[in-house]
Structure 1
Amino acid sequence: MTAVDIAKVRVIAPNFKRRLSGVTATVVRLVPIQSRDISIAATGPVMPAHVPQISLSQLLTMPRHGPDGVRVWHARRNVEMIGGLALKHLARKRLRLMFTSASQRSQSGLTKWLIRQMDAVVATSDRTAAYLEVPAKVIMHGIDTQEYAPAPDRAALRETHGLPRSGILIGCYGRIRAQKGTDAFVEAMVPVLKQHPTAHALIMGRATDKHRAFEHSLKDRAKAEGVESRMLFLPEVPVERMADWYRVLDLYVAPQRWEGFGLTPIEAMACGVPVIATRVGAFEALVVDGQTGALVPPDDIPALGAEILAALAAPPTLTQWAAAARPHIIEHFSIEREAADLIALYRDLLARKD
């Protein structure tokens, strides 16, 4: 574990969730990069060893004052905003509270109240900012373009992961549930797999207990259509192993019906993989329609399937999209840019007078 001296920590990034999620991935990727320029530590029940961190128990025993008098508490969930407020008002720790919102829907009364207690609010897109009732600074997510990069030998990597060395691999990663459009991907891929006998669909992610029946229905659907051997449901892997699963792909599909921001398209494009996505979350700002992939309306399964088939029918277009994908991410969505923008806000909060 990369332990940090709590007395020197200026910024704390809590992650109170055990299971993998987009928020968890954000914390895991950002904190090591931010730690190069500011003393920051993550905290939570499960955190990879390479991430600078402090234990949850240290939150109660840490000195009341930080190196600058106050510390910044950067929450990304309601429970973390509540934790920051408890530390500030009950444990009497000197904290500036900050919240990043990725939601693109009206918040509950509790969430609105919590956000009003924050000293600074960040929105991950202009769309998200429009749902907030307080001023927010827009800082879009970025990706580590060194960690997420094309494979030097994609065929060999596929073989290492037990996948076909040749043929078309099309992926869809994330939580398995209707909101994420996993069923839309399955339905769209049925005719694709029937028309392209060397193609495979890779579905990777966790189905929580209430979505297990949904997952089973998708597997049953693939079996009923006779494509179950080429529609692969893969177990979730840790964040640090995800890049390889993008590198093996020819095409990534983000079929969400609703999304706050959505990191998977930029993860895929950083690995040189073009993306077909729905027009939700920040996807319209991430995917350049006709240049790094294509955009379709959400919940329009025929349009999604048609776009995938059209891409496979035009290999030169798919090659052009792939070539343009990584340069687009490097220019506009590097994690270094996101980290720097957040650090600038941390420093502003640390410098504020009571």
Structure 2
Amino acid sequence: MARLLLINYEFPPLGGGAANATDNTARELAALGVEVLVLTSAFAGLPRVERRADGVEIRRIPTLRRRRDRSSVVEMLAFLASSLVMAPWIAARWRADATIAYFGLPCGPAAWVVKALFGAPYVVSLRGGDVPGFQYDGLSLYHRLAGPVIGWLWRRASAVVANSEGLADLARRFAPDQPVAIIPNGVDTQRFTPRDGAADPADGLSLLFVGRVVRQKGLDVLFEALASLPPAGLAGVTLRIVGDGPARPELEAQAQRLGLSERVRFLGWLGRDDLPATYRAADAFVFPSRDEGMPNVVLEAMAAGLPVVATRIAGNRDLVVDGETGLMLDTDDVPALAATIARLAGDAPLRRRLGAGGRRRVVDHFSWRAVAAAYRDLALAGRSAAGRVPSAQGD
């Protein structure tokens, strides 16, 4: 039986999209008959060793992680240092055939050490912020300093994978000679499903946003768009924000200043079991992000049968078909966002048509089983190219 080591400094309940992608891929790899061990950060009261009923084993190693929703550069460096010690120790006892490192940094160095010591090749799974040039607050200096290390790790990987065409293009601009494969994110279409029956038009328009509460996500633009609607257009429109982050105090103050406090609710992070019902209770999903890899939350919203209002950025363009599964607009375009919200508020048949189209698209083209199989095949192809790695049983 093949063995794969997955390294990600974030794993549920820590982190966001990349953490969920790791979790879903691990589960589906186990269902495909692969032995899976996940190496991630210790946190609060989470068990250091966990063996789940789905066959996935989780090892949580010491780090400085203090918050569930985000990690500072110092905390990521702490994971890097800890993983350089713990990954070889674990690999010596649990011989992986290959490693998948989510994020070139901070997870790639541990994967390289496992390769150097035990011959197990590694795949780097790019997630967005780990790619130089990705536009996200505070990353430009980090990318300038870490760029040489990132490129060095990519060149020694058996494969480098992006989750969207846009992210792959960005990676190729940074490293023109580096081949970059594309394996998109998936979604659990059995867990995220549309609501039963149509919404009551008298209830107004319930908008939903899910994600980290940071400037990158464009919530400031969304608030300005809502505030610009005439009283008749704003009547009945509400927004629920699932997630948390450093921009929340500023956004709460902005909502107060714009007179939106009664219409905008910050729910914080919700538990895994609460999220599907939250999607089903909404009428539309709004995602005005300024930059993305491939947003899991957009896939979840589409699986839940929601029309998606999204910006024309690389990650969104790979998922949303304008006029068929959602409506798209340029980043930072307050009038266009306001007009789009008003259009959806006044056209329930359009919402139903776009939501149904999104559901069909994810069922037909995106599944975690397909993602897991693609990663398995790519990782084990790297093992074959490098030569068979002996297992713990010596087969």
Name the structure 1 match of 2:244.
206
1:236 deviates by 0.9
- The count of corresponding residues between Structure 1 and Structure 2 is 331
Name the structure 2 match of 1:35.
30
Which residues of structure 2 form unaligned runs of 5+?
62-85, 134-142, 388-395
The 8 Å contact of residues 165 and 182 in structure 2, kept in 1 or not, is answered as: yes
1:297 deviates by 0.7
Name the structure 2 match of 1:128.
167
1:291 partner amino acid: E
Q: Distance in 1 between matches of 2:286 and 2:91?
A: 47
1:266 partner amino acid: L
Q: Aligned with 1:202: secondary structure?
A: strand
Name the structure 2 match of 1:142.
186
**1:310-342 Cα shifts (integer Å, max 9, x gaps):** 121222111211221211110111222212211
Residues 227, 53 of structure 1: alpha-carbon distance in 2 compared, 3 angstrom cutoff: same
Name the structure 1 match of 2:102.
76
Aligned counterpart in structure 2 of residue 13 of structure 1, from 6, 24, 30: 6
- Say if 2:249 is the partner of 1:216: yes
Name the structure 2 match of 1:174.
211
Q: Distance in 2 between matches of 1:349 and 1:11?
A: 12
Residues 231, 54 of structure 1: alpha-carbon distance in 2 compared, 3 angstrom cutoff: closer
- Say if 2:115 is the partner of 1:88: yes
Identify the range of structure 1 (55-64 vs 257-266) with the bigger mean alpha-carbon deviation.
55-64
Identify the range of structure 1 (214-223 vs 252-261) with the bigger mean alpha-carbon deviation.
214-223
Residues 198, 252 of structure 1: alpha-carbon distance in 2 compared, 3 angstrom cutoff: same
Residues 32, 154 of structure 1: alpha-carbon distance in 2 compared, 3 angstrom cutoff: farther
Aligned counterpart in structure 1 of residue 332 of structure 2, from 296, 299, 305: 299
The 8 Å contact of residues 154 and 247 in structure 1, kept in 2 or not, is answered as: no
1:241 deviates by 3.4
Residues 223, 56 of structure 1: alpha-carbon distance in 2 compared, 3 angstrom cutoff: closer
1:96 partner amino acid: P
Aligned counterpart in structure 1 of residue 259 of structure 2, from 219, 226, 230: 226
Name the structure 2 match of 1:162.
none
| RMSD (CA atoms) | 2.7
Residues 99, 241 of structure 1: alpha-carbon distance in 2 compared, 3 angstrom cutoff: farther
Identify the range of structure 1 (237-246 vs 170-179) with the bigger mean alpha-carbon deviation.
237-246
Q: TM-score, normalised by structure 1?
A: 0.85
Which residues of structure 1 form unaligned runs of 5+?
1-7, 156-164
1:136 partner amino acid: V
Identify the range of structure 1 (25-34 vs 268-277) with the bigger mean alpha-carbon deviation.
25-34
Name the structure 2 match of 1:3.
none
2:237 partner amino acid: A
Q: Aligned with 1:287: secondary structure?
A: coil
Name the structure 2 match of 1:323.
356
1:64 deviates by 3.5
Q: Distance in 1 between matches of 2:271 and 2:25?
A: 16
Identify the range of structure 1 (166-175 vs 292-301) with the bigger mean alpha-carbon deviation.
166-175
The 8 Å contact of residues 193 and 230 in structure 1, kept in 2 or not, is answered as: no
**1:41-98 Cα shifts (integer Å, max 9, x gaps):** 222125885661242467444464867xx52110112111011123333xx2332111
1:138 deviates by 1.1
1:101-116 matched pairs, under 5 angstroms: 101-103=126-128, 105-106=132-133, 108-116=147-155
- Say if 2:286 is the partner of 1:242: no
Q: Distance in 2 between matches of 1:86 and 1:56?
A: 18
Q: Aligned with 1:109: secondary structure?
A: helix
1:76 partner amino acid: Y
2:243 partner amino acid: G
Q: Distance in 1 between matches of 2:7 and 2:273?
A: 19
Name the structure 1 match of 2:40.
44
Residues 169, 176 of structure 1: alpha-carbon distance in 2 compared, 3 angstrom cutoff: same
1:243 deviates by 2.1
Q: TM-score, normalised by structure 2?
A: 0.76
Q: Distance in 1 between matches of 2:230 and 2:27?
A: 41
1:20 deviates by 1.6
